[in-house]
């Protein structure tokens, strides 16, 4: 069988299970790289390398349409530009749930690149017979290349999904070495992990415009020293993040550190604090300086 390789974007509204799915898709084989990342405009979030294919999963920072500000406009621009030069897009939704937020994502899907509809959380569907009319309804909304129901949490049907993705990759040599791991990618992952914990612990209390900046990332043998700033729009958001007696921030830090230790296979010293960057979400220049160009 010929070797195939290519870029894959995972999109969908928050909470449909994109991160969970990505973790299953790359599994233990996680080998994040950025050494040759200049070959792509995308931020690589994970790579899976099998005998017969290399799957490079990339980030699409858009699809966060909770607030209409400059940040979102810039991000959506990025999405529309960057999404069309991947080999395949996975559009993830939740089983039996399809609302206007999903429809907004559909509006941004590229027409010139295959889109696979991934219906996640299959394990939550009591009566599987309900699924068929649901699939019919959703499939009418876009010309999907394929429709695959999965349970990302349990890993159910993930191999089927991988096989479907492979069909859309192009013939070619692996782009990245299997064991390439760089500090820069760890740094990027560290920011993503902190960001994920903020949303996991605070959910709707905090707007999507928050960001995380890794101000310092030190490598010292088996230790990583990470200094992360959570950047909020307004002063009023600061106490929400910090919590009573600093409890929230402490919890964010503890959970993030554990995840980093697991992912990097290293000891991690993590410091997290909150910074107010007043109005940054409405300042296009600041947005660009954070790398969303």
CB-based contact 292:74 (threshold 8 Å):
yes
- Tell me the C-alpha to C-alpha distance, in Å, between residue 106 and each of 70, 101, 135, 138, 182: 21, 9, 15, 10, 34
- Answer yes or no whether residue 23 interacts with Mg ion by CB under 5 A: no
- Answer yes or no whether residue 15 interacts with Mg ion by CB under 5 A: no
Helix or strand (DSSP H, E) at 173: none
Which range in 15-23, 178-186, 228-236, 283-291 contacts Mg ion by CB under 5 A? 15-23
Token pair 């490598």: residue: 219
Closest distance to ligand GDP from the beta carbon of 217 (Å): 23
Cα–Cα dist 51/213, whole Å: 36
For Mg ion, which is the closer residue by CB, 180 or 196?
A: 196
- Say which entry of ligand GDP, Mg ion, none residue 26 contacts (CB below 5 to 8 A, set by partner kind): none
For ligand GDP, which is the closer residue by CB, 60 or 151?
A: 151
- Answer yes or no whether residue 19 interacts with Mg ion by CB under 5 A: yes
Could you give phi then psi for residue 134, rounded to 5 degrees? -65, -45
Helix or strand (DSSP H, E) at 193: helix 183-202
Please report, as ranges, the residues that interact with ligand GDP according to CB under 6 A.
Answer: 12, 14-20, 120-121, 123-124, 151-153
- Say which entry of Mg ion, ligand GDP, none residue 205 contacts (CB below 5 to 8 A, set by partner kind): none
Q: Please work out the total of residues on this chain that contact Mg ion, with binding judged by CB under 5 A.
A: 2
Q: Strand, helix or coil at 271?
A: strand
Closest distance to ligand GDP from the beta carbon of 198 (Å): 12
Which range in 13-21, 55-63, 101-109, 114-122 contacts Mg ion by CB under 5 A? 13-21
Cβ within 8 Å of residue 141, ≥6 positions away: 103, 106
Closest distance to ligand GDP from the beta carbon of 174 (Å): 26
Closest distance to ligand GDP from the beta carbon of 233 (Å): 21
Paired tokens of 154:
């349990």
């Amino acid at each position: 069988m010929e070797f195939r390789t290519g870029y894959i974007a995972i999109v969908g509204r928050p909470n449909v299970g994109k991160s969970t799915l990505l973790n299953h898709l790359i599994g233990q084989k996680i080998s994040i790289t950025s050494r040759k990342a200049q070959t792509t405009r995308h931020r690589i979030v994970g790579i899976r390398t099998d005998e017969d294919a290399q799957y490079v999963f990339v980030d699409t920072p858009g699809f966060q349409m909770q607030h209409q500000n400059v940040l979102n406009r810039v991000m959506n621009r990025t999405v529309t530009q960057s999404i069309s030069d991947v080999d395949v897009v996975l559009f993830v939704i939740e089983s039996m749930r399809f609302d206007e937020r999903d429809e907004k994502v559909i509006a941004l899907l590229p027409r010139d690149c295959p889109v696979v509809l991934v219906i996640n959380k299959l394990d939550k569907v009591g009566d599987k017979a309900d699924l068929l009319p649901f699939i019919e309804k959703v499939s009418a909304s876009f010309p999907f290349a394929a429709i695959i129901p999965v349970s990302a949490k349990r890993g159910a049907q993930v191999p089927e999904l991988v096989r479907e993705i492979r069909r859309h990759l192009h013939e070619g040599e692996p782009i990245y070495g299997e064991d390439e791991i760089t500090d820069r990618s760890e740094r990027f992952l560290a920011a993503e992990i902190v960001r994920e914990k903020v949303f996991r612990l605070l959910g709707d209390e905090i707007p999507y415009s928050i960001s995380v900046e890794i101000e310092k990332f030190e490598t010292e043998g088996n230790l990583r020293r990470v200094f992360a700033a959570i950047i909020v729009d307004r002063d009023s958001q600061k106490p929400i993040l910090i919590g009573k007696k600093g409890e929230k921030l402490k919890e964010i830090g503890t959970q993030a550190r554990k995840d980093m230790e697991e992912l990097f296979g290293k000891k991690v010293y993590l410091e997290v604090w909150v910074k107010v960057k007043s109005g940054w979400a409405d300042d296009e220049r600041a947005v660009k300086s954070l790398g969303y160009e």
